[in-house]
Amino acid sequence: MRTKINLISTKEMDTILTVTGWIKSVRTSKKFSFLALNDGSCFNSLQIVIDTNMPKYEETISLLSTGASVKITGKIVQSPGKEQSIELMAQDITVIGKCDPETYPLQKKRHSFEFLREIAHLRPRTNTFGAIARVRNALSFATHQFFQEKGFLYIHTPIITAADCEGAGEMFKVTTLDLENPPKTDKNNSEETFNVTDYSKDFFEKPTYLTVSGQLEGEAYACALSNIYTFGPTFRAENSNTSRHLAEFWMIEPEMAFADLNDNMDYAEEYIKYCLKYLLEKCPQDMKFFNRYIKPGLIDKLNNVINSPFERLEYTKAIEILKNSGKKFEYKIKWGSDLQSEHERYLTEEHFKKPVILYNYPKEIKAFYMRQNDDGKTVAAMDVLVEGVGEIIGGSQREERLNVLEEKMDQTRLDKENYWWYLELRKYGSVPHAGFGLGFERLIQFATGMENIRDVIPFPRYPGHCDF
d(Cα 379, Cα 399) in Å, to the nearest integer? 9
Residue 329 CB burial class (10 angstroms; 0-12, 13-18, ≥19): middle
- Quick one: which of 162, 168, 365, 404 contacts its own copies (CB under 8 A)? 162
340 binds its own copies (CB under 8 A): no
DSSP 100-157: -TTT-S--SS---HHHHHHTTTTGGGSHHHHHHHHHHHHHHHHHHHHHHHTTPEE---
Please report how close the Cβ of residue 82 comes to its own copies at its closest, in angstroms: 27
Instruction: Judge contact between 64 and 83, C-beta under 8 A.
Output: no
Closer to its own copies at the Cβ: 408 or 433? 433
105/297 with CB nearer its own copies: 105
Q: Figure out which of the listed residues 11, 82, 109, 206 binds its own copies, where binding follows CB under 8 A.
A: 206
- Binding segment for its own copies (CB under 8 A), chosen from 72-80, 158-166, 323-331, 389-397, is 158-166
Region of 217-225, 288-296, 316-324, 384-392 interacting with its own copies (CB under 8 A) = 217-225
Return the number of the residue (77 or 224) whose C-beta is nearest its own copies.
224
Q: How many Å apart are CA 221 and CA 227, to the nearest integer?
A: 8
Amino acid at 214: G
The window from 264-272, 307-315, 372-380, 428-436 that contacts its own copies (CB under 8 A) reads 428-436
Q: Which is nearer to its own copies, 432 or 439 (CB)?
A: 432
Min CB(230)–its own copies separation in Å = 10
Residue from 8, 17, 21, 437 in contact with its own copies (CB under 8 A): 21
* From candidates 432, 435, 439, 449, binder to its own copies by CB under 8 A: 432
Out of 61, 225, 299, 414, the residue judged to bind its own copies by CB under 8 A: 225
Among 37, 48, 64, 68, binds its own copies (CB under 8 A): 68
Cα–Cα distances (Å) from 460 to 139, 243, 445, 468, in that order, read 18, 11, 14, 9
- Closest distance of CB 295 from its own copies, Å: 22
* Cβ contact 354:311 at 8 Å: yes
Q: Which residue, 320 or 424, is less far from its own copies as judged by CB?
A: 424
Q: How many residues bind its own copies (CB under 8 A)?
A: 107
| 400 forms part of the interface with its own copies (CB under 8 A) | yes
Helix (H) or strand (E) holding 333: none
What is the nearest approach in angstroms of its own copies to the Cβ of residue 161?
7
Confirm or reject binding of residue 323 to its own copies (CB under 8 A).
no
- Report d(CA 127, CA 134) in Å as an integer: 11
Contacts of 314 (CB under 8 A, 6+ apart): 358, 359, 360
Under rule CB under 8 A, residue 37 binds its own copies: no
Integer Cα distance of 204 and 352 in angstroms: 50
Residues 138-155 as b or e (16 or more Cβ within 10 Å = b)? bbbebbeebbeeeebeeb
Whichever of 22 and 315 has its CB closer to its own copies, that residue is 22
Q: Between residues 255 and 344, which has the closer beta carbon with respect to its own copies? A: 255
Binders of its own copies in range 81-120 (CB under 8 A): 96-100, 103-104, 106, 119-120
Is residue 244 near its own copies by the rule CB under 8 A? Answer: no
Of the candidate spans 52-60, 272-280, 386-394, 424-432, the one that interacts with its own copies by CB under 8 A turns out to be 424-432
Beta bridge partners of 25: 36
Q: At what angle do helices 261-282 and 127-149 cross, to 10 degrees?
A: 130
Under DSSP, is residue 401 helix (H, G, I), strand (E, B) or coil?
Answer: coil
Q: In the bound complex, what is the minimum distance in angstroms from residue 304's beta carbon to its own copies?
A: 28
> Distance between CA atoms of 426 and 400, rounded to whole angstroms?
6
Burial of 461 (0-12, 13-18, 19+ CB in 10 A): middle
Q: Which residues in 263-322 contact its own copies (CB under 8 A)?
A: none
Listed residue (374, 367, 438) closest to 409, CA to CA: 367
Q: Please tell me whether residue 61 binds its own copies under the rule CB under 8 A.
A: no
Min separation Cβ 334 and its own copies, Å: 33
Question: Which residues ranging from 361 to 390 are in contact with its own copies (CB under 8 A)?
Answer: none
Contact assessment for residue 46 and residue 5, using Cβ atoms and an 8 Å cutoff:
yes
Q: Which of 177, 294, 306, 414 binds its own copies (CB under 8 A)?
A: 177
Q: Candidates 72-80, 126-134, 325-333, 363-371 — which segment interacts with its own copies by CB under 8 A?
A: 126-134
Binding-site member from 8, 17, 22, 26 for its own copies (CB under 8 A): 22
Nearer to its own copies, 257 or 298 (CB): 257
Distance CA 254, CA 249 (A): 17
